[in-house]
A and B are shown apart, each in its own frame.
Chain A
Amino acid sequence: MNAVYVLWLRQLKRYFRSRSRMVGSLGQPLLFLVALGFGFGPIYQRAGQGNYLQFLAPGVIGMTILFSAVFSGIELIWDRHFGFLKETLVAPVPRIMIMIGRTLGGASVAMIQGLIVVGICLVAGFRPVSYATLPHALLCMALLAVMFTALGTAIASILGDFQGFQLVMNFLVMPMFFLSGALFPLNSVPRALRIVASLDPLAYGVDGMRAALTGVPAHFGWAADIGVLSAAAVFLVVLGSYLFSRVEV
């Protein structure tokens, strides 16, 4: 148990010590919020869809968590190159505990980033319809954070180094973001795109957050959102643990 705590604490310490990382990873959500939120806002409004910023904010929060969490997971590659991974792998600690510690650490970092972006959205003019449903949104965020950290760990375990990293970004992480309905409503898109989105776990997270924060009915339904998110989180943690348990240095 202590091992889990130590590995979690380590990630948080590293996060709070590297300001550049913190600031750098907030630039992207800010850009999306400003460029898209204010850029598309008028058109969206004219199309009779209401306030685009209200619609976009949960998507940008989801995006932040996706990227932070995948990066936290992929940090495994750094630990391997800079050697710290060896230290944890020879310790008399079951690999599953190492995996849990790393996942919780990465997920906490992603969660903090997500909360900072929630703050930025509020400053930009985003207004949740009710704070009573905030815990629902936080639950979605936490599930996303856990599953994508585990996904990052799984990817890092397979890749072993940064070759192929670009491939993963372009063919997995980016599509997951763009096809999730973070930027546009899924109700009115072509059927094919809707089917693709329904295979994307981020879509359920954004949908759940959107329903909780802005009061619109959930596209997939609230129960489906939480059900799929939980199932995906469990699946990815198990998959990540399995792949991580096979890592050699």
Chain B
Amino acid sequence: MISVRNLVRTFGEIVAVGDISFEVAEGEIFAFLGPNGAGKTTTIKMLTTLLRPTSGTVEIDGLDPTVRQHEARQRFGIVFQDPSVDDELTAYENMDFHGILYKLPRKLRVERIERLLRLFELWERRNDTVKHFSGGMRRRLEIARGLLHTPKILFLDEPTLGLDPQTRNQLWNHVRTLNQEERITVFLTTHYMEEAERVAHRIAIIDHGNIIAVGTAKELKERTGTETLEDAFLSLTGSRIREEAGSSLQQMRTMSRMWGRKR
């Protein structure tokens, strides 16, 4: 369903992704784990037509997303790591606009929006503008929106970032149901090892832009001779903390302070 060969992406001097190759089968839940700055988001952006690869090839459902962008975009849904909802719109409008962009028929759209907003406990607040939402509520809206159309492949980039345990549980149950009942292929990243272990069929570990191990959680633990996936992860990637020049959230805050909110 996803096939990546010798994929490279550089930003000037920085090698964000350096020559990675992997395959994800149809109906599989595939987790991409790696320290901060390892290249997970960059890989997802290249798979979802947001970035052009420096070199290498990518295939989504047999299509090259750099060439047949439009067809590729019809096949996936995505929950971004960074915020992407419109602050000035209400939760319902954000959902509705997404449904229209993805050409969901009206009746289905109305039904699904209600179901998802209820699932993520936003239904009562559906007519509030998003700028009045808490961080976790925004996150829940991002996820609900990403699940609105049922794509063939679902990309989830740290979907559980900043969520309470109840919502995390809700999300993963829902993702598993989608995977089992609708055969949706899932490509996810997370920093919570137990989540990856619980939902993913296979796990790839990426560090400094290179994949250093791929396998089931069990295989990875056996290979490293460790008890938990977390230990396996640490023994593969080392326990040194990665430096990241200001998270994008921080950059955004600085920006909005500099310019005042919305001009």
Give chain A's interface residues, CB within 8 Å of chain B. 2-3, 5-6, 10, 13-14, 17-18, 21, 71, 78, 81-94, 162, 248-249
Given contacts A81-B255, A249-B45, contact A94 B70 (CB under 8 A): yes
**Residues of A contacting B: mostly:** helix
Contact B73 A92 (CB under 8 A): yes
Question: Roughly how many angstroms separate A82 CA and B88 CA in the complex, as a whole number?
Answer: 11
Q: A81-B252, A87-B98, A90-B49 are in contact. Are A18 and B78 (CB under 8 A)?
A: no
Q: A82-B252, A248-B52 are in contact. Are A87 and B84 (CB under 8 A)?
A: yes
Cα–Cα distance between A84 and B94 once the two chains are bound (Å): 10
- Contact of A6 with B100 in the complex, beta carbons under 8 Å: yes
CB of B234 closer than 8 Å to a CB of A: no
**What's the nearest-Cβ distance from chain B to residue A4, in Å?**
10
| Interface members, chain B 65-104 (any A CB < 8 Å) | 70, 73-74, 76, 78, 80, 82-89, 93, 97-98, 100-103
A82: chain B residues within 8 A (beta carbon): 83, 86-87, 252
A88 to B101 Cα, complex, angstroms = 8
Are A78 and B262 in contact (CB-based, < 8 A)?
yes
Among B52, B83, B102, B259, the residue within 8 A (CB) of A91 is B102
Q: Say how far B179's CB is from chain A's closest CB, in angstroms.
A: 21
- Interface residue ranges of B183-225 to A (CB < 8 Å): none
Q: Is the interface of B mostly helix, strand, loop or mixed?
A: loop
> What residues of chain B have their CB less than 8 Å away from a CB belonging to chain A?
45, 48-52, 70, 73-74, 76, 78, 80, 82-89, 93, 97-98, 100-103, 129, 145, 252, 255, 259, 262-263
Q: How close is A181's CB to chain B, nearest CB, in angstroms? A: 29
Question: Is B85 a contact partner of A87 (Cβ separation < 8 A)?
Answer: yes
Question: A71, A83, A248: which has the most chain B beta carbons within 10 Å?
Answer: A83
Closest 10 CB pairs of A and B: A83-B84, A91-B101, A92-B74, A92-B73, A83-B83, A14-B88, A87-B84, A86-B84, A84-B86, A6-B100
* Chain A residue nearest to B251 in the complex (CB): A81
In the complex, the answer to whether B74 meets A89 with C-beta atoms within 8 Å is no
Q: Is the beta-carbon distance between B263 and A21 smaller than 8 angstroms?
A: yes
**Given A17-B88, A83-B80, residue A2 in contact with residue B93 (CB < 8 A):** no
- Which residue of chain B has the shortest Cβ distance to A95 in the bound complex? B69
Q: Whole-angstrom distance between the alpha carbons of A18 and B101 in the complex?
A: 24
Given contacts A83-B80, A90-B73, A162-B259, contact A18 B50 (CB under 8 A): no
Q: Residues of B contacting A21 with CB < 8 Å?
A: 262-263
Contact A84 B85 (CB under 8 A): yes
CA distance A162 to B260 in the complex (A): 13
CB neighbours (8 Å) of B93 from chain A are 13
Are A6 and B101 also in contact (CB < 8 A) when A89-B49, A90-B78 are?
A: yes
Q: How far is the CA of A91 from the CA of B101 in the complex (A)?
A: 6
